[in-house]
């Protein structure tokens, strides 16, 4: 059995990593989730998503529709994952062993590793740009990026409690800063450029970018709900998570698209300065925005740590506690910060391509995970078996699981990724079917629909019988005969 054991930790420092959180350590309320997801998004730097949306949908009304539709879809899927954390008390990608198998879950772990490193790069760069713009170049972008990275690392090192507390404190100033920029952008007399033509492919691409805003939280959203008592209402967990992410994501995407189309600035921070006319107020707002980007980066670094422990615990015993957190935070932090120092200047294009790649890899994973949890297993899993090289997630003929790999799920995932690949379009690659659609990236649509259809068909083929037993919240040895 590859699990986690405990080493010493201070009273205010998180003691658990990827091990199941016992009921005695669970605390908090579902509404605590609102501040985490509201604060994590509500900053000017995240308006870059609106910039990207405006590139493919250069009409404010169509862009706004794409923002709303995309954020509704992404938020619903993401919030459904959040319920899993409170129900099972384990991180999201450990829970993927319940679908992919003990070893098979390494596939989404690898995809998440790419995601954490990439977003650490992009958020660190954006944070550095924000501070540099606020100080009018007086604080160099590289020192500014190092400052953003360092503060993020310290908060992530303390862990779960620090993340929740800082998020609550930051909610009010971040909200005020975004409102100030929004009002300034609306009342500014600058005449926007005429709206450009919008194609169906461009509109669907913009919708996909908006969908990705919330959906890229899916691989780690459970990490922030797993400490809630298991009796917490699933509707409340869903509702507070969805409210926090939808309101903030929609606000920043709309503002980013509006500033881009009205001012045509090279980046969001220059656009914000233009909207406010420069001066001390703009500097304060941009510095507050940098604080918001610190919070976003904390989620990347902390999630990267849990993801690395998930991968390592597949093969070896990993202890919990401060020392382990320190060592496992470093890879994502060092890699992301180092790459940020050498990041390309074409920030928007590279971010758009990165989002396209993530949607290609994460949409099929999310489809399998949610269908299995809600429609096949109805939230019932043997949690202890997810930590063992034996039992239902190691060998199970009914789910085609052999030596820790569920071939039913793996086939669905691979077919889903393959279905989306020809429809992908970005600065790195354009698929043949995407070219016929005028270069729009709609890979997320076949990725979602095909994966779901294939998995449902394969489950039906095996008479709807899937792995899982009663949810076991304590970190104990798996029960004998824990197959359904």
DSSP string, 265-283: -SSHHHHHHHHHTSHHHHH
pLDDT for the residue 438? 74
Average pLDDT for 300-314: 85
Q: In the predicted model, is pLDDT for residue 271 greater than 90? A: no
Give the model's confidence band at 343: pLDDT under 50 very low, under 70 low, under 90 confident, else very high: low
Each residue's pLDDT tens digit, 319-331: 767 788 888 899 9
Host H or E run for residue 245: helix 234-263
Average pLDDT of 41-70?
88
| Token digits of residue 475 | 């970190």
N residues, the chain = 484
Look at residue 101 in the predicted model and tell me its pLDDT.
Answer: 93
Domain ranges (residues) in the chain: 27-358
How many angstroms from the chain centroid is the CA of residue 148?
A: 19
Q: Which CATH class is domain 27-358?
A: mainly alpha
Q: Tell me how far the alpha carbon of residue 432 is from its chain's centroid.
A: 28
- Give residue 141's pLDDT: 83
Q: What is the pLDDT of residue 277?
A: 77
Confidence (pLDDT) at 484: 30
Strands (E), 257-392: 318-320
Give the range among 75-79, 169-173, 398-402 with minimum mean pLDDT: 169-173
What are the CA-CA distances from residue 41 to residues 205, 249, 290, 318 (Å)?
21, 6, 12, 32
Q: Which residue has the higher pLDDT, 198 or 416?
A: 416
Report the chain's mean pLDDT, rounded to a whole number.
Answer: 83
Q: Which residues partner with 5 through β-bridges?
A: 319
Which tokens in the block code for residue 344? 């390309």
pLDDT at 170 over 90: no
Q: What is the pLDDT of residue 127?
A: 85
Q: What is the mean pLDDT of residues 426-447?
A: 82
């Amino acid at each position: 059995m590859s699990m986690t054991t405990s080493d010493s930790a201070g009273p205010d420092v998180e003691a658990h990593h990827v091990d199941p959180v016992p009921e005695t350590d669970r605390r908090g309320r579902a509404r605590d989730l609102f501040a985490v997801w509201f604060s994590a998004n509500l900053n000017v730097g995240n308006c870059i998503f609106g910039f990207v949306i405006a590139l493919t949908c250069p009409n404010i009304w169509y862009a706004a529709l794409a923002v709303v539709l995309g954020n509704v879809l992404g938020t619903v899927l993401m919030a459904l994952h959040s319920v899993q954390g409170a129900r099972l008390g384990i991180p999201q990608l450990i829970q993927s062993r319940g679908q992919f198998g003990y070893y098979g879950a390494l596939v989404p772990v690898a995809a998440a590793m790419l995601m954490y490193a990439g977003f650490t790069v992009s958020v660190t760069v954006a944070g550095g740009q924000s501070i540099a713009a606020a100080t009018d170049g007086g604080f160099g972008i590289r020192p500014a990026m190092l400052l953003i990275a360092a503060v993020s690392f310290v908060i992530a090192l303390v862990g779960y409690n620090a993340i929740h507390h800082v998020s609550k404190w930051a909610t009010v100033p971040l909200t005020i800063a975004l409102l100030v920029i929004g009002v300034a952008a609306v009342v500014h007399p600058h005449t926007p450029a005429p709206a450009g033509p919008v194609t169906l492919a461009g509109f669907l691409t913009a919708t996909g970018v908006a969908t990705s805003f919330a959906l890229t939280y899916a691989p780690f959203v459970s990490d922030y709900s797993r400490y809630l008592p298991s009796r917490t209402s699933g509707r409340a967990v869903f509702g507070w998570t969805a409210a926090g992410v939808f309101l903030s994501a929609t606000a920043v995407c709309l503002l980013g698209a509006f500033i881009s189309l009205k001012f045509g600035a090279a980046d969001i921070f220059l656009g914000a300065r233009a909207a406010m006319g420069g001066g001390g107020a703009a500097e304060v707002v941009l510095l507050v925005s940098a604080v918001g980007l610190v919070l976003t980066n904390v989620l990347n670094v902390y999630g990267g740590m849990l993801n690395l422990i998930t991968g390592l615990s597949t093969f070896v015993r990993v202890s919990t506690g401060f020392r382990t957190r320190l060592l496992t935070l470093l890879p994502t932090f060092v890699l992301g910060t180092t790459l940020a120092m050498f990041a390309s200047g074409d920030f928007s294009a590279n971010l758009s391509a990165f989002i396209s790649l993530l949607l290609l890899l994460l949409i099929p994973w999310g489809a399998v995970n949610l269908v299995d949890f809600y429609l096949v297993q109805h939230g019932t899993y043997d949690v202890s078996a997810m930590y063992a090289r034996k039992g239902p997630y190691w060998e199970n003929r009914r789910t085609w699981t052999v030596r820790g790999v569920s071939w039913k799920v793996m086939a669905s995932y691979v077919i889903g990724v393959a279905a989306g690949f020809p429809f992908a379009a970005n600065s790195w690659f354009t698929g043949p079917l995407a070219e016929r659609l005028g270069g729009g990236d709609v890979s997320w649509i076949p990725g979602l629909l095909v994966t779901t259809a294939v998995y449902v068909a394969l489950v039906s083929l095996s008479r709807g019988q899937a792995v899982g037993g009663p949810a076991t919240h304590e970190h104990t040895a798996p029960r004998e005969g824990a197959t359904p």
